Amino acid sequence: MVLTPTLPPETAADTSGESLLEFPDNFLLIDLCGEYDRNLSDLENRLGLQIVRRGNQLVLLGDADARARAAEVLQSLYTRLEQGRGIEPADLDRELRMGNTDKGTGTRDGDQMELFKGGTVEIKTRKKLVEPRTDAQKAYVRSLFKNELAFGIGPAGTGKTYLAVAVGVNMLITGNVDKIILSRPAVEAGEKLGYLPGDMKDKVDPYMQPLYDALNDFLPGKQVTKLIEEKTIEIAPLAFMRGRTLANAFVVLDEAQNATSMQMKMFLTRLGEGSRMVITGDRSQVDLPRGVTSGLRDAERLLSGIPKISFNYFSSKDVVRHPLVAAIIEAYDADDPARGA
C-alpha cells in the first residue's frame, strides 16, 4: 500500500501561518530533502517560505498559498520516491512549473493518450527516464509522437533538441524506426574559426557536438559508438543530406534558423516512408550572412496551415538550464522585442 503524506485535519485549514506534513518513511524523507537539505532550500527560495524539519515531519511556515503550493510539490515528489524513482533538481523545478498534481496518483491534468500512461509524458531511453518539465515541453513531446513532421521553435535552453533526440532514441529502441539521423547547418556563430585540422569528420564534429552530448545522455557510450559505426545513428552536416531519401528514420534538423530557404526545402523533401522529422531552431540566433533569409522563418510562413505538421513554441518560461539563462533571454527580448518575434 502506498502511503502519501497529508495535512492533518487540525492543520489543513490552519490560518496561523504554519502547516505540518508527516512522512511515514524517514529514509525516503532524507531523499526528499536532498543533500544538505538542498531541495528544501530551493523550495524556500522559490516560494518565499520557511521549512523546518522535525524527525519525520516538515513544518511549513509562511503565506497560506505558499504553504499549499509547497505541500503539493513535496507530496508529489514523495510519491515519486515511493514509486522507486529518484529525485533530481530538475524534478523539483518541473513540479514547480507544471503543478496541478492529482492527489494520490502523481499525474497531472491534461489530455490522455495511449502512449502516455496515466496522462503523464515520459520518454524511456537506455540510460534514463526523460520527463518534460513544462507544459510547452509536454505538448511538444506529444506532437513528436503524433506527427510525422514537427517544428520546435524557441530560445536556447528550452529542451527542443534534447527532447527530440530522446524521442528518437525511444523510437529506435522500441523498433518504430530503423535509424536516427541528426543534422545541423555547419555555420559559425558570429566568428570565423579558420580552417580546422583533420579529415572531414574532424572538421564537422565541433558543429555536431551538442548532438553527441544528447545521445550520450540517453545511450551507453559504447553503444553510441557502435550504432554510429553501423550507421544506425548518423550525425552529419545539413549539406550532406542532398539527394537522399530518408525512410524509416527519425530525423532531426537542429539550429534550423541557420539553414537557408533552399536548404530547408531540400531537407524537408528528404522525408520518406515510415519516417518522422523534427525541425528545431531559435529565430533570435540567426548566424546567416546579412540579407540571407532564414529557412526556418520561410518554413513557418509557408507550412503552418498544412495538416499533420505541428508547430510548438517555447518562451523564456520554458528554459530549463540555469535560472539566469531565462533572465538573460528576457533582458535581450525586452531590449529588442523583434529579436524573439
Is the confidence at residue 49, as pLDDT, over 50?
A: yes
All structural domains of the chain with their residue ranges: 9-98, 117-340
How high is the pLDDT of residue 148?
94
Which residues does 189 contact at the CB level (< 8 Å), separation at least 6?
Answer: 285, 287
Q: How confident is the model at residue 322 (pLDDT cuts 50, 70, 90)?
A: low
Is the confidence at residue 329, as pLDDT, over 80?
A: no
Q: State the first-to-last Cα distance of the chain, in angstroms, to the nearest integer.
A: 51
Angle at 29 between CA 38 and CA 88, to 5 degrees: 45
Q: Could you give the CA distance from residue 327 to residue 333 in angstroms, rounded to a whole number?
A: 10
Closest CA to 58 of 47, 74, 46: 74
The percent of residues in the chain predicted with pLDDT above 70, rounded, is: 79
How high is the pLDDT of residue 16?
57
> What value does the mean pLDDT take over residues 56-83?
89
pLDDT digits 0-9 by tens, 247-292:
999 999 999 999 999 999 999 999 999 999 999 999 988 888 888 9
Q: What is the CA radius of gyration of the chain?
A: 23
How high is the pLDDT of residue 198?
57
Q: Which CATH number fits domain 9-98: 3.90.105.10, 1.10.150.20, 3.30.1370.10, 1.10.3720.10?
A: 3.30.1370.10
The percent of residues in the chain predicted with pLDDT above 90, rounded, is: 38
| Window from 15-24, 45-54, 197-206 with minimum mean pLDDT | 197-206
Which string of DSSP letters, residue by residue, matches 179-211? EEEEEE----SSS---PPPSSHHHHHHHHHHHH
| Dihedral sign from CA coordinates of 92, 146, 176, 243 | negative
For helices 135-146 and 160-173, angle between their N-to-C axes, nearest 10 degrees = 40
Record: fold of 117-340: Rossmann fold (3.40.50)
Amino acid at 219: L
How high is the pLDDT of residue 119?
53
Q: How confident is the model at residue 103 (pLDDT cuts 50, 70, 90)?
A: very low
Cell digits of residue 53: 524539519
How high is the pLDDT of residue 271?
93
| Window from 142-146, 162-166, 201-205 with minimum mean pLDDT | 201-205
Q: How many CB atoms lie within 10 A of CB 253?
A: 28
How high is the pLDDT of residue 13?
41
Q: Matching CATH topology for 9-98 and 117-340?
A: no
Residue 153's φ and ψ, nearest 5 degrees, are -125, 130
